[in-house]
Amino acid sequence: LTVVLPSAINLSRCSGHFGVVRLCRERSTGNFYAAKFVKTRRCWGSRLGLQRAQVEREVAILRQLDHPNIMQLHDLFASRAEVVLVLELISGGELFDFIAEKEMLSEEEAIEFLGQILSGVEYLHARLIAHFDLKPENIMLQEKDVPKPRIKIIDFGLAQQLEDGITFKSLCGTPQYIGTGLAHPWGWGQDPQARREGGGRMVLPL
């Protein structure tokens, strides 16, 4: 892979607390991808970087996924201090920004976008995978200047592979998009009303 300057194409999410995203090109094909460089902790007591197990969990989930509305993992490189996820290039920006620029969507456009989001979520849940951080900032467009933009669900850093019949107990996600009923010790999956509330907060911008 050849790393290209990020400014060569519009990548709206170029950095985070423990990593950076750069545009890269595969030498053998000339295809462009987004390379996500993630710093990992070198030792157990270190606070710099993500725990290796957390990155490995994200990679294990991404490797299972093959859906038109979900970001694809193309390749993976790893060293002791860093993991590089070579991801599908998604250059259309965030759905939230797209809506803000247009000021409002037609009913037809809103139905189309919502249908794509639900298709991706249904695919995940059928495989007992919970995203746990689904919000407008994690819903992007493959391309923006096309008649019918394609939705892409991204960022599986908090995603979990659930087990059938076992309640998952953990408080995670972005606070403003978590249903109030989920902030209780009985675990995820036991309060459908709370899940609907969190989902409602996410789709309100549509």
Q: Are strands 2-4 and 129-130 parallel, antiparallel or unpaired?
A: unpaired
Taken as a whole, the chain contains a residue count of 206
User: Is 133 a residue of the active site?
Assistant: yes
Q: Contacts from 56-62 at CB under 8 Å and sequence distance 24+?
A: 57/159, 57/160, 57/161, 58/85, 58/156, 58/157, 58/159, 59/83, 59/85, 60/161, 61/129, 61/156, 61/159, 61/161, 62/156
Given the residues 66, 75, 97, 133, the one annotated as active site = 133
Catalytically active residues, by annotation? 133
